[in-house]
Chain A
Amino acid sequence: MAYILQQAVNALQLGSIYALIALGYNMVYGVLSLVNFAHGDVFMIGAFIAFFASTLLKLSFVPTMLFSMFGCALLGVAIERIAYRPLRRAPKLSVVITALGVGLFMENMVLGIIGPWRKSLPPLLPEHVFNVGEVRISSLQLIIIGVSIALMAILEFIVGKTKQGIAMRAISFDRFTVPLMGVPENQIISLTFAIGSALAAAGALLFSLAYPLIEPTMGMMVGWKAFIAAVLGGIGSVRGAMAGAFLLGLIEIAAGATFPSRLRDLIAFAIVWIILMIRPTGLFGVARREAV
């Protein structure tokens, strides 16, 4: 029983990080109907910005997080302006391919500039281990889960209550009519990218503290997994991103706990395949009706 609780905490930690990244995917998809394949690499760059902030500028935890969130927000807005905005009226496929290209480009630029060697962040948070019964929870895990939940709560507030958030949701319903109603489409889309990328940066910092080796190719695996989490929950839905991410974290940890750990990814992806076969639109996704 304690083993299950222990793994549940691990799943929460993993799911929280996936959720922060998956939210970026879902928000951009909701607004632009675009799967932003470059998001995983924005995550990676967020980790490297945090690395430089903590080693060169010697910032502590909260300033590092704010610094990398801000940096990634700028990066996200820049990507949208340069690569996606010219293709605003283009068929969806071209934009997806462009996103792939942007992701590859960023990854290889970082590989070229910084080199493939792994870097590790200095320990920004004190490590305490709490023993709740037989379950060992580290303060790092608590902080990861806590910060993620706090950020998600802030996001819920932004999307639900503020004017810009409501505009974001409006644009996701009807991209062409809503701007006619006075909503500044470009600004809202840039804001969406900014928020999504900032969340990814937060996730990157937490990820780098939990798994301390960062390298330019980390965006690929974690990015794709977060994308799968986003689709599992129903792409386009903010609630879906959170649900799908925690579900994927649960599946991964459960698969790793019950089967030999090298089969973990295999089992997780097989389960994803099955879920998508049974319910293609994800848990909270809405099936789009196609007019015949």
Chain B
Amino acid sequence: MKKYYLPLALVGLFILLTGASLLGLLTSYIQMVLMLMGINIILTVSLNLVNGYMGEFSVGHAAFMSLGAYTSAFITTRLIPHLLWGEPLFPVGKLLYTFDVAAHIEGPIWYLVFPLTLLAGGAVAALAGLLVAIPSFRVRGDYLAIITLAVNYIVMNFFANLEPLGGSRGITGIPGFTSVPIVLIWTVISLWAIHNFIYSTYGKGVMAIREDEVAAEAMTVDTRRVKVMAFCISSFFAGIGGGLLAHLLLYINPASFSILRSIEPLVMVYLGGMGSISGSILGAIVLTGLIEALRPLRVWKWAVISLILIILMIFRREGIMGGREFWFLKPKREVEYAPASD
């Protein structure tokens, strides 16, 4: 019975939250906060894979979010209306794109389409992860930070100049497919995937790169392959998070995916603790909650949050969890770390 604790708890949580939201027990504001928490968990865990487990310094996470968001929004608002109802694919020249996708949605077929659009967004983002992975073969640390920053700005400017996708006006009228159960499912999927990746052979390679890259290369870790995998998996899930975000906010524009948007998951990673999945979950939940709780402070909200970050770094720089995991997230078999006996 003990090994079913975790799945049962997850199912229970799923039923609880979905039921509460369907029955109207949770206001739509609380539902939005819950969905934001879930999305931030996905973003934080994916960033933690690169920043925490691999020890790199990637500050351009918003680039992959925006790629996922734009791709899935494009499919939902442009591609599918084009295929189904003959709407123009790239409505250039119209100031305001007025086709209301949400009004035309009928039938549960759309709920099968949504995961596919998210996967497509994630795939595009993973492909863009190569833009960061390949430079990482040669540079580390501060220089890689510049490259990730440059990638962030490049993607942001790319979308701002892409008139067929709205340019700097962005995409409006995205149907609101994101709901609490969907976010929960995707959160569990991404946590499960990254958890399994970490405790696989590739994951050990990732941590070996963090500790000593040259030694890892000498000990049969194919650092190039591992880096590409880690960066691409990280950006894949960032793209998923971006797609979910697009269908939650119903509007995206390039300016919202600037460096400020990259800093949010960064703060969550360091708040929760690098190299700890439980830390990412906690960090995401705590910071999202803090952002919402401090909303009455209006513009002082970010001043308080940055002050918290400074104090955190001075007094507890390992974050809340400090690299440790909750009991249910530890790897099952410890014997693989034991020395061989002959």
B residues within 8 A CB of A92?
141
**Among A90, A103, A263, A272, contact of B161 (Cβ-Cβ < 8 Å):** A263
Say yes or no: B300 contacts A112, CB within 8 Å. Answer: yes
Instruction: Count A/B pairs, Cβ under 8 Å.
Output: 115
B149 at the interface (CB under 8 A from A): yes
Give the interface residue-count category, chain B: 35 or more
B150 at the interface (CB under 8 A from A): yes
B213 CB to nearest A CB, Å: 9
Say yes or no: B314 contacts A86, CB within 8 Å. Answer: yes
A residues within 8 A CB of B299?
108, 111-112
B residues within 8 A CB of A101?
306-307, 309-310, 313
* Residues in A250-270 with C-beta less than 8 Å from chain B: 262-263, 265-266, 269-270
Say yes or no: A224 contacts B149, CB within 8 Å. Answer: yes
Say yes or no: A108 contacts B161, CB within 8 Å. Answer: no
Chain B 273-302 near chain A by CB (<8 Å), digits 1 or 0: 000000000000000000000000001111
Whether A276 contacts B302 in the complex (CB less than 8 A), given A93-B57, A98-B314, comes out as no
The dominant DSSP class at the A interface is helix
Best-buried of A83, A100, A228 by chain B (most CB within 10 Å) = A100
Best-buried of B141, B146, B259, B260 by chain A (most CB within 10 Å) = B146
Say yes or no: A87 contacts B313, CB within 8 Å. Answer: yes
A218 CB to nearest B CB, Å: 14
B157 at the interface (CB under 8 A from A): yes
B residues within 8 A CB of A29?
142
B91 at the interface (CB under 8 A from A): no
Say yes or no: B161 contacts A262, CB within 8 Å. Answer: yes
A residues within 8 A CB of B158?
266
B19 at the interface (CB under 8 A from A): no
Say yes or no: B313 contacts A98, CB within 8 Å. Answer: yes
B residues within 8 A CB of A263?
157, 161
Best-buried of B57, B263, B313, B314 by chain A (most CB within 10 Å) = B313
Say yes or no: B150 contacts A273, CB within 8 Å. Answer: yes
Whether A276 contacts B150 in the complex (CB less than 8 A), given A101-B307, A102-B306, A263-B157, comes out as yes
B residues within 8 A CB of A112?
299-300, 303
A residues within 8 A CB of B146?
227-228, 231, 272, 276
A290 at the interface (CB under 8 A from B): yes
* Residues in B50-80 with C-beta less than 8 Å from chain A: 57
A17 at the interface (CB under 8 A from B): no
B317 CB to nearest A CB, Å: 4
Whether A270 contacts B154 in the complex (CB less than 8 A), given A100-B309, A105-B303, A224-B259, comes out as yes
B residues within 8 A CB of A228?
146, 149-150
A93 CB to nearest B CB, Å: 7
A102-B306, A112-B300 known; 18 other A-B pairs, CB under 8 Å?
A: A97-B266, A98-B309, A98-B314, A101-B306, A104-B306, A104-B309, A105-B303, A108-B306, A220-B260, A227-B146, A228-B150, A266-B153, A269-B154, A270-B154, A272-B146, A273-B150, A273-B154, A280-B135
Q: List the interface of chain A (C-beta within 8 A of B).
A: 29, 35, 83, 86-87, 90-98, 100-105, 108-109, 111-112, 220, 224, 227-228, 231, 235, 262-263, 265-266, 269-270, 272-273, 276-277, 280-281, 290, 292
What are 12 A-B contacts defined by CB distance under 8 Å? A87-B313, A97-B309, A101-B310, A108-B301, A109-B303, A220-B260, A228-B146, A270-B150, A273-B150, A273-B154, A276-B139, A280-B138
